[in-house]
């Protein structure tokens, strides 16, 4: 049986709420417990580092992709199962997405938003049907969900846009949704 892979988009910073790191820890542990490979941005800082260390500690398979210009900034985590250095951010995102079966977006900044909007756009264009899950730790993504609802209400996207992602409150719910969609 081929191992399923879950791409995690999340912050290279820890944020202002300790629950963010606790949920990253739970996601990494949960991926390993379900024998799903972690695909992520290969950093060893912020939530990225937390989720990767948790997956590794639980014996999980880890696949990290980082562009050369971020190796020092995001502290490239070279002890992963697979560690790939790309030339550009675009190549990083492509390699990460092409090597996963589902996406979970945890709290993060502009980079996480960029990754999310790219996969939502690709879905809108019919380029994939992979599940996309917003892990809404302590309501972090509520303003984003409201913005997307506003975009639909104002006629700039079809209502189906809102069906292309699932909002869950915590890692347990994200893992349950992944079990339903990945088997």
H helices, E strands: number in the chain: 6, 7
- For the stretch 35-92, pLDDT in tens is 999 999 999 999 999 999 999 999 999 999 999 999 888 889 999 999 999 999 999 9
CB atoms within 10 A of CB 69: 13
Is residue 1 pLDDT above 80, yes or no?
no
pTM as predicted: 0.97
**Residue holding tokens 């030339």?**
87
Q: How many Å separate Cα 18 from the centre of its chain?
A: 18
How many residues are present in the chain?
Answer: 183
Which candidate, 54, 63, 65, places its Cα nearest to that of 31?
A: 54
Place 159 in a pLDDT band, splitting at 50, 70 and 90.
very high
DSSP strands (E only) in the chain: 5-9, 37-40, 62-67, 82-86, 102-105, 132-135, 166-168
CATH topology (fold) of 5-182: Rossmann fold (3.40.50)
Cα dist from 82 to 43, 49, 74, 146, whole Å: 13, 15, 17, 37
Average pLDDT over residues 166-176: 98
Tell me the chain's radius of gyration from C-alpha atoms: 15
């Amino acid at each position: 049986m081929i191992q399923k892979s879950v791409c995690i988009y999340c912050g290279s910073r820890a944020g202002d709420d300790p629950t963010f790191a606790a949920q990253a820890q739970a996601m990494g542990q949960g991926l390993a417990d379900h024998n799903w490979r972690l695909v992520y941005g290969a950093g060893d800082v912020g939530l990225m580092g937390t989720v990767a260390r948790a997956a590794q500690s639980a014996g999980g398979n880890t696949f990290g992709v980082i562009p050369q210009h971020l190796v020092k900034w995001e502290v490239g985590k070279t002890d992963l199962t697979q560690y790939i250095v790309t030339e550009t951010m675009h190549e990083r995102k492509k390699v990460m997405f092409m090597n996963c079966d589902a996406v979970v977006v945890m709290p993060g900044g502009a980079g996480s938003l960029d990754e999310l909007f790219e996969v939502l756009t690709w879905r809108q264009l019919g380029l994939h049907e992979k599940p996309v899950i917003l892990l809404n730790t302590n309501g972090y993504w509520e303003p984003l969900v409201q913005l997307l609802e506003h975009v639909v209400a104002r006629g700039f996207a079809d209502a189906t846009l809102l069906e292309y992602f699932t909002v869950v409150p915590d890692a347990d719910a994200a893992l349950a949704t992944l079990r339903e969609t990945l088997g």
